[in-house]
Amino acid sequence: MLPSAETPSFLATRRGRLTLALLCTVAFLDFVDGSIVNVALPTIQRELGMSVSTLQWVTSGYMLTYGGLLLLGGRLADLLGRRRVLITGTVLIAIASATGGLARDGGLLIGSRLAQGVGAALMLPAALSILTTSFREGSDRNTALGVWGGAAGLASASGVLLGGLLTQGPGWRWVFYVNTPVCLLVLAAIPALIPDDSRNEIRGGFDVLGTALATSGLMLLVYALVKAPDHGWGDTRTLVMLTVAAALLIAFVVNESRAAAPLVPLSIFRIKGLAAANLAYLSIAAGMLAMFFFLTLYMQSVLHFTELEAGLAYLPFSLVLAVAAGLSAKLFARTGTRPFIVIGAAITGLGLLWLSRIPTEGSYLTDILPGMLVMAVGAGAVFVAANTAANAGVPTEQAGLAAALLNTAQQLGGALGIAVLTAIATSRTTTELTAGTPAPDAMTSGFQLALLVGGFLALAAAVIGIRTADARAEDPKSAPAGAEIIAA
């Protein structure tokens, strides 16, 4: 049974802390899978004999099904039971990860990544909605969401580090194998910690048409964004896919306004600040996730870092982000989330602008590390605050949907950022090469411009953040509760 307003703080109990640790493990697992394969890609390409165009689907396949199916996963969690959906997604990821590690050809590996994305689309909204319904509104929930946001941000940063350590250590296959034992631990803990929520009655039938329109529209949009840098933004195929995706999503909105039991009740957007929080999250994700992509390429292609060196380069970023997330979670319980979204996004943008000055003959200590640390401070603040603001005021029966909306924004932001900034970087590099610029200088020039635009995307999130909800704890004196979890 979930804690009521009269019961003591759930977070102060051993069961509450273990529940939060379990849910944050789920978040870490899903977010780290988005970036852990990046530094292993060259090794995978050599061993499996994959072409560059095929290789990109090792990364893009996960993003496609994850981003495209999140809304469906969130709604299924609300309707069919969050624990049931969480277990289903965890089992799917465990099997898909083991299959990916055993893959002897590119087709099976890409198929396993598509299946991993489906599993993550079920797991993540179920886990986040369990969190928001288990911890009562106020200090408990704000602190729990703060820890969750910190885990998500830390996972995005740590993926590259873990990928480098595993690839240069036991081998690239362990980038996939490592998921399976973690999933088994999660599956063992779920029955002991997560109550068996009863199945909700689907009144008026399930929104089959809305589900089809949303899923096909989102998946086509992500696919078009992923392929646009290869085809070209003005290519007929790109324009047709983007047009059809837009038409499907418009039809989805029209259907939701008329459906008796909509997949996404449009009334959820009447919750103050929810739309702004999701839009800010999309914008900050576009800039931040692009940073991992381009900075990793810069370190490996221009500075000639090994996989392990490139991974270790992110260790200070991960540590500072974790500390910043923990401190922010304790402070915004007193001050509200809006200042942390605005200031955190602005600091993140300044860090990206700093990184946009990377030179061809760069040094990690003077040209990369300072900008990364500035970014880490801002990202730690904005991740925890945006997660809290996006879930503030959401009724229990729509918690899974709110979680799915937020994570859909993150996935679309990442796909959009990488697609658009890759096109910008490629165009600049091509122009420089045509003018006779040496290849390392031309590549660096492209990375510089991409990081510069990424910085402006983060600054845009700071402006949008002004319109978000200013969630805060009801009892400021209880704000430090659970701080020991954050520090851990």
pLDDT in tens, 214-262: 888 888 887 887 777 677 778 899 899 999 999 999 999 999 888 877 8
Residue 431 is which amino acid? Answer: T
Residue written as token pair 């990916």: 100
Q: Is residue 23 within 8 Å of residue 155, measured between CB atoms? A: no
pTM higher than 0.85:
no
Euclidean distance between CA atoms 239 and 237, whole angstroms: 6
Contacts of residue 198, Cβ cutoff 8 Å, sequence gap at least 6? 81
Residue written as token pair 């886990």: 127
Q: Is residue 5 one of the residues assigned to a domain? A: no
Does 481 score more than 50 pLDDT? no
Q: Is residue 6 one of the residues assigned to a domain? A: no
Q: Is residue 8 one of the residues assigned to a domain? A: no
Same domain, 137 and 216: no
Same domain, 305 and 329: yes
Q: Which of 233, 260, 287 delimits the end of a domain?
A: 260
Same domain, 270 and 250: no
Does 111 score more than 90 pLDDT? yes
Tell me the average pLDDT across 31-53. Answer: 80
Does 3 score more than 60 pLDDT? no
Q: Which of 239, 260, 281 delimits the end of a domain?
A: 260
The DSSP 8-state label assigned to residue 303 in this structure reads S
Does 93 score more than 90 pLDDT? yes
Same domain, 367 and 407: yes
Contacts of residue 75, Cβ cutoff 8 Å, sequence gap at least 6? 207, 211, 263, 264, 400, 401, 404
Local confidence band at 312 (pLDDT 50, 70, 90 cut-offs): confident
Tell me the average pLDDT across 162-170. Answer: 85
Same domain, 52 and 127: yes
Same domain, 268 and 254: no
> Total domain count for the chain?
2
Range of the domain at 73: 14-196+261-487
Residue (of 146, 128, 161) closest to 27 by Cα position:
128
Same domain, 250 and 183: no
* pLDDT value for 207: 77
Does 205 score more than 60 pLDDT? no
State the SS3 of 171-202.
CCCHHHHCHHHHHHHHHHHHHHHCCCCCCCCC
Q: Is residue 420 within 8 Å of residue 426, measured between CB atoms? A: no
Same domain, 314 and 440: yes
Euclidean distance between CA atoms 263 and 12, whole angstroms: 35
Does 164 score more than 50 pLDDT? yes
Q: Give the lowest-confidence range in 169-183, 348-362, 395-409.
A: 395-409
* pLDDT value for 488: 34
Same domain, 255 and 265: no
Q: Is residue 35 one of the residues assigned to a domain? A: yes
Degrees to nearest 5, angle at CA 463 with 227 and 292: 40
Q: Give the lowest-confidence range in 59-63, 210-214, 436-440.
A: 59-63
Averaged pLDDT score across all residues of the chain: 83
HSE toward the beta carbon, residue 97, CA cutoff 13 A: 26
Residue (of 423, 475, 365, 412) closest to 232 by Cα position:
423
Q: Is residue 104 one of the residues assigned to a domain? A: yes
Same domain, 311 and 407: yes
Local confidence band at 1 (pLDDT 50, 70, 90 cut-offs): very low
Residue (of 182, 245, 159) closest to 22 by Cα position:
182
Q: Chain-centre distance of CA 254, in angstroms?
A: 28
Same domain, 121 and 154: yes
Euclidean distance between CA atoms 218 and 382, whole angstroms: 25
Q: Which of 219, 239, 260 delimits the end of a domain?
A: 260
Contacts of residue 431, Cβ cutoff 8 Å, sequence gap at least 6? none
User: How many CB atoms within 10 Å of residue 438?
Assistant: 11
Q: Is residue 417 one of the residues assigned to a domain? A: yes
Percentage of residues in the chain with pLDDT exceeding 90?
Answer: 29
Does 189 score more than 80 pLDDT? yes
Local confidence band at 53 (pLDDT 50, 70, 90 cut-offs): low
Q: Is residue 7 one of the residues assigned to a domain? A: no
Local confidence band at 486 (pLDDT 50, 70, 90 cut-offs): very low
* pLDDT value for 480: 33
Same domain, 255 and 342: no
The more confidently predicted of residues 420 and 205 is 420
CATH of the domain at 447: 1.20.1250.20
* pLDDT value for 96: 95
Instruction: Give start and end residues of each alpha helix (H) in 298-337.
Output: 307-312, 315-335
Contacts of residue 434, Cβ cutoff 8 Å, sequence gap at least 6? none
Radius of gyration of the chain (CA): 21
